[in-house]
Each structure stands twice: as structure tokens, then as C-alpha cells.
Amino acid sequence: VISACSLAPEAKICVSNACASSLAAIATAKTWLKAKRVDHAVIFACDAIDSFVLHGFHHLRVLSPDRTRPFAANRTGFHLGDAAACLILSSKNKSADGLELIDAQIDSEGHAATRPSQSGESLLRACKNLLASREQVTPDLVIAHGTSTQANDVTEDKVFKSLFEGSEKKPRITGTKWSVGHTLGTAGLLDVIAACEVLKSQKVFALRTTDGIDPAFEGSYLLASELQNSDRPLKSILVTSLGFGGVHAAALVTRV
């Protein structure tokens, strides 16, 4: 698709930050817009399940034998999902729905090839940098990466605990992978699009396959049994992504 577009070679680039690629691409687009190098940026993301990917994740032992249950006590990994997504960012044309991407931040840590550090230091740094410039530091909702693996969910819970410690009202936390599966590099873009839809509809979705949260976790997760109407007006949503190799990212979407 991109090759078919009559863009100059320097006007397109492929970002490969593993499962944080989408949010890293958004951060890159924001940089180009901020530098006034472009007026509009189009971000494409696509991931398809093939035997290469399926075998790889199977041998890493992260695929669930049944369902993806993010942050659940009985979580067993994830199922893979196919997805293609597209997002247009513009510094000239305002969104008809009042949607605004405040920023996206990327960060990295050389902890290990496949596991994030337990403290999630680089995700925490990305989130803090993202929220630091905001008057209202706490977002109204978080759409977490939530892969339902042991390592990912532990790290994210610790990051959310550190991030929202002292907040008057901790944000509710949800995710999409229980429904669409883990779409790898596309996951962040799907979650940003989901955040836009939540902001437009003012209706949240729960972690529909998660019946009971891991007792060690402290985040305010939206369970399957909970209502889908938010207990507060939804003005801003934080989206997080974690990638192999310790590349993590976060984005903040608002509706003005």
C-alpha cells in the first residue's frame, strides 16, 4: 500500500519496535508534525498469523490453550489475532469528533529479550513523561497492553501502581486482547482506535473473560461482571504497549 503511494522515500518509514511498534510510529509521526516537516501523517499497521509466527510463539510457551484473560488469577497467555489498522494524524484538520492525540512516548530497557523488567522502569518513564505536561495527571481510563502472560501483567500492574499512587481516584483499567487477540505490532494502534471510540461513545468495555483479578494486583481493573457505563465523564485515555527487547510505549488520547 505504502509503496503504491506517490510519497518521497524520506516521507515514509517502517518502525520496528516489536509489539510497541504502533505507538512508536505514532510518536514518530508526532515528531514530524511538531517539526512542521509534514501537515498530515498516515500510520498503517498490519499483522497476520502465519506458521512462522505461530510456531515461534508456541515454542516461547506464551499461547493460551483456551482463552486470553488479562490480569486474571488464572491467566494462561494469549491467542494471536490478525489485524490491519490505519490512523491519520493532522496538525491542520481538527477531528470532527473533537479527538486529540496529546502525545506518545517511547522508552527502552535492556532487561531481557522477551521479558520486561518487573518494575517496568521504561514503561513507567514513558507514562510519566507523557502525563507530566498535563494539568490533570490521572487519565480517566487505561487501555492496557494486558497480554495475559505472567510477566507482562505483573509488570503493568506495578507500573500502574507507581503511576497512580496518591491519585484521588484511580483510573479503571481495561484491554482489548480478550476479544481480538494479541495483534502484535498492530496492537497499539487498535487500542488507540478503541480509545477514540470509547471517548466518542462514553461507554467502556470490560475485560470480558476475566472473572477474578490476580490477588497480587492492585490496579482497578474492569471485570466481566461490571457495567459498561463509566462512573465519570471520560475525557482522556492512556494506552500502553510493551514489546520484546524492552521497548515500551504509551499514548494519551483526549476528547475536547
- Name the residues that contact another protein, by CB under 8 A: 6-18, 24, 27-28, 31-32, 34-39, 51-52, 55-57, 59-61, 105-114, 121-122, 125, 243-247
Please, which residue, 55 or 94, has the CB nearer to another protein? 55
Please, which residue, 36 or 65, has the CB nearer to another protein? 36
Per the CB < 8 A criterion, the answer to whether 68 and 149 are in contact is no
Shortest Cβ 222–another protein spacing (Å): 30
Shortest Cβ 74–another protein spacing (Å): 24
Please, which residue, 13 or 73, has the CB nearer to another protein? 13
First-to-final CA distance of the chain: 32
Shortest Cβ 174–another protein spacing (Å): 27
Q: Please tell me the total number of residues recorded for the chain in this structure.
A: 256
Residue-wise over 133-144: b if at least 16 C-beta within 10 A, else e? eeeeebbbbbbb
74 Cβ contact list (under 8 Å, min separation 6): 212
Shortest Cβ 59–another protein spacing (Å): 5
Please, which residue, 129 or 179, has the CB nearer to another protein? 129
Per the CB < 8 A criterion, the answer to whether 163 and 121 are in contact is no
